[in-house]
Amino acid sequence: MKKKLTYKDSGVDISAGDRATLKIKSLAKSTFTSHVLKDIGSFGGFFAFRGDEYKSPVLVSSVDSVGTKLKLAFMMGKHDTVGEDLVNHCVNDILVHGAKPLFFLDYIGTGKLLPDVIEQIVKGLSRACREVGCSLIGGETAELPEFYKKGEYDLAGCIVGVVEKKRIIDGSGIQPGDQIIGLKSSGLHTNGYSLARRVLFRKARLGVDDYVEELRTTVGKELLKVHRCYAPSILPLLKKFRV
């Protein structure tokens, strides 16, 4: 008799997906507020938005990815900070319009699903969400055989926040004489990594474990520094001063 062909034979391990879901459920739940109505695992995330503190609430959304900074995570075998990068990046994107984050959803695509790696990614996602008061209400983990290089994955996310309509920041209120406040970054954030990798690894022929005296750390650790979230600095200012 011919052997029965299974989904696992084609490269998709459903049991690995189930194990990954079990690992990340508690992490996601640690970000929940009273607004979240359902546990993760449904086809959609449920968030009960009560806008009674706003006269005319406007939802602000954004979607982004970590980009080629992920290559550093692959090279170093360190996956617990790229989730922070993603959340903080998305928070900052809506923050520039004055929006406070409400909830977040992620997408992880990989050739072979490794539950432990997924858990590390979600640890970073949930940690960043908790720090800014944003609920991780769902996402998608896709196992796509032969689509990604071995040991690699892609990571993207979507954020939704809220701002009072009359307090939307769009640059239209900028006037001559306004003061500019500069906030120190934590490094390259999640931008310019294709160029940085080319310069450092190909041109300068450095490795991730090479120590750089000026940076007082290794190349890999410097490039993996977490994308800073500016919400803790900016939101109190937006609340104190009208814009």
Determine contact, residues 70/155, Cβ cutoff 8 Å: yes
Assign domain 8-166+187-240 to its CATH architecture.
Answer: 2-Layer Sandwich (3.30)
The rounded distance, in Å, linking the Cα atoms of 225 and 233 is: 19
Structure tokens at 130: 């908790």
What Å distances lie between residue 35 and 26, 112, 137, 199, CA to CA? Answer: 17, 34, 10, 46
Boundaries of every domain in the chain:
8-166+187-240
The rounded distance, in Å, linking the Cα atoms of 167 and 187 is: 30
pLDDT, position 23: 78
pLDDT, position 71: 95
Residue entry with tokens 């520039």: 96
pTM tops 0.95? no
127 Cβ contact partners less than 8 Å away, ≥ 6 residues apart: 83, 84
Q: Hey, which residues does 143 pair with through a beta bridge?
A: 110
Structure tokens at 223: 């490039």
Identify the CA nearest to 209 among candidates 192, 231, 224.
Answer: 224
132-149 pLDDT tens trace: 999 999 999 999 998 999
34 Cβ contact partners less than 8 Å away, ≥ 6 residues apart: none
Chain centroid, CA 23 distance in Å:
18
The strand pair at 57-65 and 153-164 is best described as antiparallel
pLDDT, position 53: 84
Structure tokens at 101: 């984050």
pLDDT, position 50: 82
pLDDT, position 242: 65
Handedness of CA 80, 82, 87, 89 (dihedral sign): positive
Q: Hey, which residues does 139 pair with through a beta bridge?
A: 106
Chain centroid, CA 67 distance in Å:
11
DSSP line for 33-94? -TTB-S-TTSSS--B----TT-SSEEEEEEEEE-GGGHHHHHHHT--SSHHHHHHHHHHHHH
pLDDT, position 5: 66
Instruction: Compute the C-alpha angle 121/83/143, nearest 5°.
Output: 50
pLDDT, position 15: 76
What parts of the chain have a pLDDT lower than 50?
Answer: none
